Amino acid sequence: MVFTPSLEASYRDSFRDLLETSFEKRSLVHLSAGSTVPLLKRSVWMVIRGMVKLSAISLQGDELLLGLAGPNEPFGEPLSNVQAYEARTLNDTDLLCLSCEDLAGSPDLAIALLQGMAARYRQSEAMLALLGLRRIEERVRGFLELLANDYGQPCDQGLRLNVKLTHQELASALSTTRVTVTRVLGALREEGWLSIDSQRRLVIAHQPLQRR
């Protein structure tokens, strides 16, 4: 199965501390779940806590899931050439806004941005590789493994996904239909690979094996 290795928790924490320390005089921007993040011409957003969905609208009017930005990962207009690009929070999120001038004047922040962009790049490659799989079942399982490995929280049952994506959003990401995604998710639950907790969050029962 194709997925991206996650960063160790200690590394994520130290990375976040670096960002907050570098701009300790600048307040974080807190947005509640479902908020649209304004995209600025010469500024990049860095996620400190939470999750942001990156999407676009096709010529046919369909929403396309371009990717996700989690803790320590950047997004913003300077990093994309996609038209009708939109960023929306999936849960309560803290963001740090960094201008191009800020990044040019701080080697630490520039390195932090590079490391965050590398994580986003690996995610994009993994998603492209998933689209090359013929069986939709493998795409769905691989995508959930990708999310769990990058953003999942350990629990008694396995890895819990605190990010909530609709069946239609999963279908858009995997180039299939909502009906097919619903069918595959049901099959994964029947075999015990996937479950849903009391808060309607997906839990992957078997933790993905990390690539060395």
Q: Give me the pLDDT at residue 92, please.
A: 93
Does the pLDDT value for residue 186 go beyond 90?
yes
Beta-ladder partners of 167: none
The alpha carbon torsion through 174, 148, 202, 80 (nearest 10 deg) reads -50
Averaged pLDDT, 117-131: 90
Q: Is pLDDT above 60 for 81?
A: yes
> Which CATH code for domain 9-129?
2.60.120.10
Residue-level length of the chain: 212
Residue 103: pLDDT band (50, 70, 90) is confident
Name the one residue in this structure whose structure tokens are 């942001």: 52
> Looking at the domain that runs over 134-204, which CATH code has it been given?
1.10.10.10
- Tell me what percent of the residues of the chain surpass a pLDDT of 70: 84
Q: What is the DSSP code (8-state) at residue 28?
A: P
pTM: 0.77
Determine the average pLDDT of the residues in 186-190: 93
pLDDT of residue 175: 87
C-beta atoms surrounding 36 within 10 Å: 10
The average confidence (pLDDT) of the chain is 83
Mean local confidence (pLDDT), 35-54: 93
Per-residue buried b or exposed e for 89-127, using 16+ beta carbons within 10 Å of the residue's own CB: bbeebbbbbbeeebbeeeeebeebbebbeebbeebeebb
pLDDT band of 51, cuts 50, 70, 90: very high
Q: Which two tokens stand for residue 65?
A: 């899931």
Going by pLDDT thresholds of 50, 70 and 90, the confidence category of residue 43 is very high
Work out the average pLDDT over 16-25: 58
Mean pLDDT to the nearest integer, 31-59: 91
Residue 196 has pLDDT above 70, yes or no: yes
Q: What percentage of the chain reaches a pLDDT higher than 90?
A: 41
Domain boundaries of the chain, sorted by first residue: 9-129, 134-204
